[in-house]
Every structure is written in C-alpha cells, then in structure tokens.
Structure 1
Amino acid sequence: MAISTILVVLLIIVLIKPPFGASNETVASVNGVKISKDKLYDALVDAGGAATLENLITQELILQEAEAASIAVADEEVNSEIDLIIESFGSEEAFNSALANYNMTVDSLKKDTKINLTIRKILEPKTDVTDEEVQAYYDANAAAMSTPEQIQASHILVATKEEADAILAELKQGGDFATIATEKSTDTGSKDNGGDLGFFGKGDMVPAFEEAAFALKIDEISGAVQSDYGYHIIKKTAEKAAVNPTFEEKKDEIKKQLVATEANELSEAWMSEIRAKAKITNNLTPEATEAPEAPAE
C-alpha cells in the first residue's frame, strides 16, 4: 500500500474513532438498518489498519534515528527533489498524470520524499563510492549523457505538388507561414500550432524530410519535399548544437547518483537493524510487538 494511501486511511480512522469507549453513532443506514461509527472503524482497521500502523512505526523509527544524528531535511531540499522528478517526466502535465494514476497528490509525494531524503542523509556516510567507480560509470554511460544536434521546424503538409507550389507562391508574396499552416496543412498534429513540430534529432523523421530540414538555415523555407505522407513545405526555426559533457562536468552529479543508489541498497538491512534495537509495542496487532534483541554474551 502506498504511503499516501496509508496516511489517508489513518486520518479517517483517527477522525472517526471515539476517544473513550464504544460509539453507537450512526454513520449510514440501509433500509432502516443502522451502520455505527464503531463498525466503520473496525472495518477500516481490518482493511488497512495493520499496514498503516506498521508504516507509522517505520516512519517514527526513521525520525528518531535522524534526531539522534542531528539530521534534518529542509523544505528547499524536498522541493528540489520534486523538481528533479518533474524534469524526469519531461513535463508537468506528464508528472501530474502519473500522480493521478497512483492516487497521490503533490503534498503526499512531498511527505514521502522527505522520508526518503532523511533515510538517504542517514545512510550516505555509510556508503563508499570511489573515484574509480565514478569514472567507470561515466565511461559506460557517456553516450547516454550526450545530447545530439537538434533542430526545430514547422511544416505545411498537402497532398499534391500543385498545392505545395501554390502555397510556395503565396509565401513568396509575403504570406505568413503559421497562418497558412493552420488553414491548409493536412497534418492534424501540428496545424493548430502553426505547423510547429518542436525540436527533433536525426532519425526522428522520415529521411527525405530530415535531410531537407537539417540542410536549411534558420528561418529559411524549403521547396516542396515529397515523402510517403505527401508534400511538405518546411521552415527551420531554431537549432541546438550537440552537447557532449566532459567527465569533469558530470563527476559530481554521477557521484551523487551512485551514493544515493548505494544508500538505497543499504536501507533494508539498516531498517532491520534499527527495528531489532527498538522496543515496539503494537496494540493493534500484539503479535507484532518487538523487544530489543539481547546483547550477545
């Protein structure tokens, strides 16, 4: 069960549980048969109470360890981590869609992230990432870290050469490319954006289109370019040079990533260790009560 879901279940349980004794307060009725608040509470406990409590116990253990080590996570650190997550999705829209799929909110993600950052801060001093490991990672992943040359272009797509020639004549007479694309292009995916295709690299488009687009200068318009889709009139609007970061530029980022990975690998054993040392009383599930392990003789 996701932490965010667990927190919701816990909140509901806390809100409905009477502070003293039983409660016969009615929360619903079906054909005159009453459902009491106590019955709802018991059902919620059965449905997720044990898992909810286990997660709260785990969180409390983590927070106690952090306090003992004088470790704190600032809101700015959480926000920076959230920004990186959003960036990894490519857009805020994709990020929000993923949150919705997991029934999470930004606030619940921030709570989860703060716990994860706390664990990372506790365990990072226990990691041992060498300069050689950082160099090896860079050597193995240098190509993936590079960004190839990209251009941005717009196009007008029509079915026939005659239509393309007529549009070229209109453009030569001062016609606005974006307006004509909106009015006459048959590419429904780009026409409403004035024909804009965004940035793309080599291999992203069909060969004839790619060759013509990359050969243009910025703001230059092509002739009629034939492809399997019809005839394109292409306007190059921007370009980005290839980026090949050096080891010096990436080494700190790589080390941070490797340290985080190693800390994550240590977390399961670490959690078992701190649970073994703790005195945990679980009144909801008594068999889960744990006492500290006796010291070895």
Structure 2
Amino acid sequence: MSQKQLLVIIIGLILLNIVTLMVYVIKPFSLYNDHEIVASVGKKDITREKWLAELQSRYGKEILEELVDAEVIQQTAKRHNVSISAKDVEREYLFTKLTYSTKGISGSKSEEEWKQQIRTNIQLEEILTKDVTIPQSVLQHYYETNKQRFAIPQSYRISHIVTASKEEADQVIQELREGSAFDVLAMEKSLDEFSANAGGDLGYLTEESGQKAENYLDEVKLMKEHTWSQPITVTDGYAVIYLHEKVEEHQYSFSDVKKQIHRTLALEQMQMPVTGKIFWDESDVKWQYREDGK
C-alpha cells in the first residue's frame, strides 16, 4: 500500500470518528427537546437544535458519502466474489501502525476499526484491478527490486518522560509505582513538549531512528512490554521510557505480497481514482439527504 493510500485510510478514519460522534451523541440527543439549552454565553443561549444543525452542515454530507461508499464496496465485493484474507489485513495493519503510530492517529480508532477500514480499501483495489493481467515475471522483478518495502524491522513502540534532574526522574518512577498513568505524567511533567502533548508517545523506535543516540534502543532491547525503565541520561537531562510493544523483524515472501504487488502495478497502469463512487449506480444508491439537512 502506497503512502497516498495510507493517507486515504487516515482521512477515512477521521471521518468515521465523526460518524461515531453522530451515532452515539446525536442519536440519543434526538430524544430530547430540540430547543433544550446546551450552553450559554452571558445572556445568549445555544440550543441543541443549533448545535446539531451546525454539526450536520459541516460534516453531514461527507460522513454520509463515506458510509455509502463503504457499503457500496462491501456489496460490490460480494457480487464479484472478492474475498480478502485475514493475513492480508494483518500485514497491512502492521505496516500502517508502524507508519502512523502516535496517539494523535492510532489512538483515535480501535484495532478492529482500523482493520475494517483496511479490509474495505483492499476490497476496492481488488475489485478495480481484478481483470488486469500482469506477467508473473514482472511481479517477481518488482518484488526483488523493492524487497525492503516488504520488510518489517525490529521495532519498539515507546513513550518517554524527560526531566531536568535525576531526582525528578526518580519521582516520576515513584508515582508510576503508586499507580499513576504514564501518559498523564508525561503531559504534566515531560520537558519534551512535542511528545508530552501525545502522552509521551514517540511511536516506533528502530535502528534507523533518531533516538538511537539517546541510548533508548539499548535500553528497550532489555525491557519487557508494558514496563518502564530506570532514569536514562539524555541530552536534556534524564528520561524514563515506557515500552508498549515489541515488533519482531520479518521479511515477507513473494507469495505473501504477490496480490499486493499486482494491485499496486495495476492501479499505476490504470491511472484512475481509487474510489467506490464508480459503482454507486450499479449498487442502486438512492439519496434522501438534502443540503439543508431536512
């Protein structure tokens, strides 16, 4: 899956977050009086009706189209007998989370929601490219010349808290032992403002990562998942790191990724947008939505 296609997944997940808001917030609210006051600014009241109308005007059309597109892809895949293996989804999910790993993205959806979005994207690619013929030799050559793209490096997802002194780092460890959450402490105490805003999350550390110079890699190799380190000397003082997950190094074989390569090369040849909209007519999509939200 290309960088552009990964970005499409991210955008889709953001839109689905808004869907969640509308399902779990707007639907229950429909049981209440539309004129109920949800906030006040001085003597000016904001009603539930105004709030929900604003949500729908901003996001309603995009969310509806996203839901329609997903359902169209599911039905079209079924009509064309397109099935996606769990192994294909797992592989794409692993690459996706290693690429987009911070809480600002990966924490916004559950693992199952990520996988469902990935499955839908693969289904669409398979539908669009199923009739494209590419010689086996071309597929094999692409694999051999791009082998690194199908390799997973040894990776460690970590968070850290940076303090000015060892005493402060020791205090962090004491609070962790007493039950404080690592991400909360990172937001409160870490000198690294960028990662502190994400609960200290640095994503996945590998041999090529910049944090290698900070001795993090040597430390996490000896750690168990879901544990924190003792204070480590870093450029800005001391750091306490937390290991969320270890991902073992792995090289996918040609047979593992043959279909993926076929989709990639076929889409390049076709030079067409990767969207389910071209199947809307054959899926008999009927629109009840109006721009005014009624």
Larger Rg: 1
TM-score normalised over the length of structure 2: 0.50
